[in-house]
Amino acid sequence: MTTISQANPAAAETEPLPEQQLRPRSYWPFVLPALIVVLAVIVFPWVFTIWMSLNEWKVGSSTAFVGLANYLRLPTDPRFIEAIGHTLLYTVLSVVFPVIFGTLAAVVFHAQFPFRGFLRAVFIMPMMATPVAVALVWTMMFHPQLGVLNYLLSLVGIPPQLWVFHPATVIPSLVLVETWHWTPLVMLIVLGGIAAIPTEPYESAKIDGATHWQMFRYITLPLIAPFLFIAAMIRTIDAVKSFDTIFAITQGGPGSASETINLYLYSVAFVYYDLGYGSAIAVVFFALIVVLAAVLLYLRQRTLWTEIGGGA
């Protein structure tokens, strides 16, 4: 008995547990394919772009290391400074107007009326079209002689406009396209927020004699503020890096009146073939987008909308 009792503990120590038998010896065979894809698709292109930005490299010529010369050139480049202004103006207008009109559309489509579902489907159809297709349609509509927009203006006695063919009106005209295209997205986001609001506050407000505007101002608007912020954040990140719509309609013209950072980057790298300077613009532009996204996410985290009633 003594021998058996002494042998059993040793056998129990050396015998592997069932969990240990099933557990793989290494997780690297599972992680390595994904790691290779990330390195090849994300990490390497950015490392290579940063390396190019530190060199003077034009297509057809050899590279020459110049350090930070391409970055130091940016603050003295008037076209780059102008592109920053165009990008800011385009972004602000492309966020404000879709948020305003999308909120109004969400309030309208939340009400009960005949054919509401059908009209909702019609309203969101612009969002389903590709940006290039939308740009081609609006390019024909913007035509000074043959466009339908000037024809509609003539019906009410307004003289024809040059729209995207004049430096003073090109960015507002592009914002019109952006507003028409992405207002449905804001409407869907805000409509989901309105549908989540309980009916009790509205019933109490009606008993107290509140008007429709007062109910919207003091009940609806504060409760959908998180959804408005999310919609504005999505639109901001999307508008600041917009390229396809602007390029298809104006290609940055007339002159450089609608040239954003994205379009200037394209011109430098693929029209003038200055890959080193274009890479520097790409790195700076990417850093600006990262900072903007970080600020927006920080503001979202600082808000306490999700902790209403939590004593915060």
> Is 14 inside a domain boundary?
no
Structural domain including 42 reads 19-69
Contact 246, 175 (CB under 8 A): no
Average pLDDT, integer, range 289-310: 73
Average pLDDT, integer, range 64-89: 94
Residue 301's pLDDT is what?
80
| CB neighbour burial string for 29-63, b if at least 16 within 10 angstroms, e if fewer | eeeeeeeeeeeeeeeeeeeebeebbbbbbeeeeee
- Interval 173-218: pLDDT, tens: 999 999 999 999 999 999 999 998 988 988 999 998 889 899 999 9
Q: What is the DSSP string of 184-224?
A: HHHHHHHHHHHHTS-SHHHHHHHHTT--HHHHIIIIIHHHT
Asked if residue 62 and residue 40 are part of one domain, the reply reads yes
Average pLDDT, integer, range 122-138: 92
Q: Is pLDDT above 80 for 95?
A: yes
Tokens of 228: 């408005």
d(CA 171, CA 253): 10
> Is 173 inside a domain boundary?
yes
Note the pTM of the prediction, 2 decimals: 0.84
> Is 4 inside a domain boundary?
no
Q: Is pLDDT above 90 for 12?
A: no
Contact 173, 163 (CB under 8 A): yes
Helices (H) and strands (E) in the chain, counts: 18, 2
d(CA 276, CA 46): 13
Asked if residue 193 and residue 60 are part of one domain, the reply reads no
Asked if residue 112 and residue 30 are part of one domain, the reply reads no
Higher pLDDT, 60 or 254: 254
Q: Is pLDDT above 60 for 44?
A: yes
